[in-house]
Structures are given as C-alpha cells and as structure tokens.
C-alpha cells in the first residue's frame, strides 16, 4: 500500500490567533488534511515560543488559544495528528543530534539571526551578538527537527520561512550522506504572497508588528479595530483607489467575486471610508462568527483540549519513536 503524503506544519505559540493565521495557514491546512491521500501533522510549536518571549503566561495562554482555534476551525483530531511539540520529547532529542552535524556557518547565515546582528550594528553596539540568545541562533535546527522527526514530505509555510526549509533539507542531506538514509527530504510549499493579509497599519499582518485583527474578538471590538485601519484622507464622494488600500485588501480576502466587483464600483463612486469600513466589518463578522461560537464553546472545556493533545502526542510518538530509534543507532547511541 503506498503511504500517504505527510504534510506537516506548526504555529509558534507566542500570540493570539488572528484572521491572517486563519485565512493563510489554519483553514488551508485543515482543508488539506481532509484529502484522502494526505496524513497531516499539525502542531503547536510551544518550544519555539521561548525564542520570542520569556513570559510564561504568554506562552501558556497562547498555546491554549491556538489549540482551541485549530479545533474551532474544524481540525479533526481523529484523522490528523494534532499535538504539542513539548509533549513529544523525541523532537528535542533529535534537535541535539542534528546540531552536532550542522555547520555553525550555516546558522550564521540565517535571516533572523542576521537581522538581529544588523540591528546591533546599526546601534553601534560593541557586541554584534548583544541580546541574541542561543535559542534564536539555533532556531533553524529545532525547526528542522520538527520536520525531520516525522519524515514529512511537504511543509506549507509562509515566504519568511523558506530559508528554514532550505536549511532543513541541507541538514537532512548531510545526515543521510554521512550516516546513511534515514530522513525524507521535505519540500516547502510556500503560500502565495498575494494571499497575505495586511494588518491595520497596512504592513503584513503579523504578531511581531502588533497590527493584527485577533480572530475571536467580539463584534464591538472588531468594529473598533476596523475603524482604526489606516486610510488616506479622501473625502466621501471622491473616487478612491482599491490598489494598495488596506480596507479593500482585507475585504477582498473574505468576499465573493460579486461582492468584490460591487466594492470596486463603490470605490470608483467615492464610497466614504466610514461606509467601506462598515461593510468590511459586516463581512468579517459574518466570516468569523461561526468559528467564534465554536471557539467559545471549546474554550470552556480545557480538559477536552488537554486530552485531545495528549492523545495526539501518543499518535505522533508512534511515528517519531521508530525514526528516532534508527537515528540513534546510526549515530552510535545504542545498547551493548
């Protein structure tokens, strides 16, 4: 029997799930997971969170919120492998083994690390590594371990993660070449940049820019956030450009073709920003409300979420355990 294609992706648990996560990662991953020939591995990258924050409550609350979010969006824990990274210690063990054959020079070239160094250089800091942790430096190895631990075939990620996938392939090839074939060389599936949502300030929606629209806020707060979206100062009645307009880009991401056409028409006819924002709010509200209802229901049952993740980790370890066993043997860590 040919085995299913393994698709694996994770979300770092250092923020509140936002509509960009939903539209760009969570919903597409769930719909992929429902395909017959796919085995999906969807996980909470909670150890990655420590790279971004030292606030234990943030990591903990975010893990729960993102778990509940996946479930609210329709993830079926029976047909996918849904787990918390920290519940599968094999990943951390593999990360060490991989770090012992990864060139430091490879990590010196990682974008995130280089950006941190260049920030220090801009500030004329004495030490270019000032404030940079080993966690940040080693991050691509932990990500490689996440992926290789399950011999994933495909890894759907945003453009910003492309280099990490290249590094993962590099590391896997190096291992296979030195010790003998163990790892599948994973393919990155890079999401379409045109699908990336802008945040309320017009930059890419991202928790690092603090410009997100959280997925499950109530309708009043949603309205307030939508009203904050940056626009230009054109008056009602003046024709407006849809190109590069944040309100329009967000509208377009959730609207039907018909709705998009009619909004384009309204822009030409000088719709006021207030009215355009009202329409965006109504559209988002309609999109979010069924998920929000489910989210609120699931959030009340922490035991269910915990149990689901524990069972998911058991399932995950049935896959990781034999792979780690063979890795350990290959590197010479085995019984006498």
Question: Could you list the residues that contact ligand TRP (CB under 6 A)?
Answer: 8-10, 12, 45, 48, 143, 146-147, 155, 157, 161
- Cα 306 to Cα 68, 92, 140, 243, 312, distances in angstroms: 10, 21, 28, 44, 10
Q: Measured from the CB of residue 143, what is the shortest distance to ligand TRP in angstroms?
A: 4
Angle between helices 111-122 and 134-148 (to 10 degrees): 170
Q: Which is nearer to ligand TRP, 209 or 275 (CB)?
A: 209
Q: DSSP assignment of 110-144, as one string?
A: -HHHHHHHHHHHHTT-S-TTTT--HHHHHHHHHHH
H or E element at residue 157: strand 154-157
- Closest by CA position to 265, among listed 245, 239, 291, 246: 239
- Please calculate the CA angle 298-43-113 and round it to the nearest 5 degrees: 125
- Cα 321 to Cα 76, 89, 141, 317, 318, distances in angstroms: 23, 10, 19, 5, 6
Q: Measured from the CB of residue 194, what is the shortest distance to ligand TRP in angstroms?
A: 19
Q: Which is nearer to ligand TRP, 136 or 229 (CB)?
A: 136
- Number of Cβ within 10 Å of residue 237's Cβ equals 9
Query: How far apart are the C-alpha atoms of 147 and 155, rounded to whole Å?
Result: 8
- Number of Cβ within 10 Å of residue 139's Cβ equals 22
Q: Measured from the CB of residue 207, what is the shortest distance to ligand TRP in angstroms?
A: 10
Q: Which is nearer to ligand TRP, 12 or 80 (CB)?
A: 12
Q: Measured from the CB of residue 140, what is the shortest distance to ligand TRP in angstroms?
A: 9
Q: Which is nearer to ligand TRP, 170 or 285 (CB)?
A: 170
Q: Which is nearer to ligand TRP, 43 or 267 (CB)?
A: 43
In the three-class reduction of DSSP (H, G, I as helix; E, B as strand; rest coil), residue 151 is classed as coil
Are 80 and 120 in contact by the 8 Å Cβ rule? The answer is: no
Q: Measured from the CB of residue 10, what is the shortest distance to ligand TRP in angstroms?
A: 4
Q: Which is nearer to ligand TRP, 12 or 39 (CB)?
A: 12
Q: Which is nearer to ligand TRP, 29 or 245 (CB)?
A: 29
Q: Measured from the CB of residue 198, what is the shortest distance to ligand TRP in angstroms?
A: 18
Q: Measured from the CB of residue 117, what is the shortest distance to ligand TRP in angstroms?
A: 19
- Closest by CA position to 29, among listed 5, 3, 8, 4: 8
Q: Which is nearer to ligand TRP, 8 or 324 (CB)?
A: 8
Q: Measured from the CB of residue 28, what is the shortest distance to ligand TRP in angstroms?
A: 13
Are 319 and 81 in contact by the 8 Å Cβ rule? The answer is: yes
- Number of Cβ within 10 Å of residue 14's Cβ equals 21
Q: Measured from the CB of residue 168, what is the shortest distance to ligand TRP in angstroms?
A: 8
- Structure tokens, 88: 């599968």
Q: Which is nearer to ligand TRP, 208 or 318 (CB)?
A: 208
């Amino acid at each position: 029997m040919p085995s299913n294609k393994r698709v694996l992706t994770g979300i770092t648990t250092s923020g509140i799930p936002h509509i960009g996560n939903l539209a760009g990662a969570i919903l597409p991953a769930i719909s992929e997971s429902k395909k017959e020939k796919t085995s999906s591995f969807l996980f909470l990258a909670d150890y990655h969170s420590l790279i971004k924050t030292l606030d234990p409550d943030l990591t903990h609350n975010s893990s729960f919120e993102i778990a509940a979010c996946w479930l609210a969006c329709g993830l079926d824990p029976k047909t996918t492998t849904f787990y918390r990274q920290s519940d599968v210690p094999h990943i951390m063990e593999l990360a060490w083994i991989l770090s012992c054959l990864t060139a430091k020079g490879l990590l010196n070239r990682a974008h995130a690390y280089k950006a941190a160094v260049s920030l220090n250089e801009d500030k004329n800091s004495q030490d270019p590594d000032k404030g940079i942790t080993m966690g940040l430096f080693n991050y691509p190895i932990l990500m490689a371990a996440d992926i290789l631990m399950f011999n994933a075939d495909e890894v759907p990620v945003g453009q910003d993660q492309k280099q990490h996938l290249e590094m993962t392939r590099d590391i896997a090839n190096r291992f296979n070449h030195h010790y003998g074939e163990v790892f599948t060389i994973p393919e990155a599936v890079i999401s379409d940049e045109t699908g990336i949502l802008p945040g309320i300030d017009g930059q890419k929606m991202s928790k690092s820019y603090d410009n997100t629209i959280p997925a499950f806020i109530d309708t009043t707060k949603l309205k307030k956030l939508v009203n904050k979206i940056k626009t230009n100062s054109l008056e009602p009645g003046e024709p407006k450009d849809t190109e590069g307009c944040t309100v329009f880009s967000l509208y377009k991401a959730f609207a039907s073709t018909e709705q998009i056409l009619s909004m384009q028409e309204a822009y030409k006819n000088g719709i006021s920003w207030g009215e355009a924002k009202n329409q965006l709010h109504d559209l988002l509200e309609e999109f979010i409300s069924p998920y929000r209802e489910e989210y609120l229901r699931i959030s009340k049952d922490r035991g269910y979420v915990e149990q689901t993740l524990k069972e998911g980790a058991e399932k995950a370890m049935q896959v990781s355990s034999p792979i780690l066993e063979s890795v350990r043997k290959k590197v010479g860590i085995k019984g006498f």
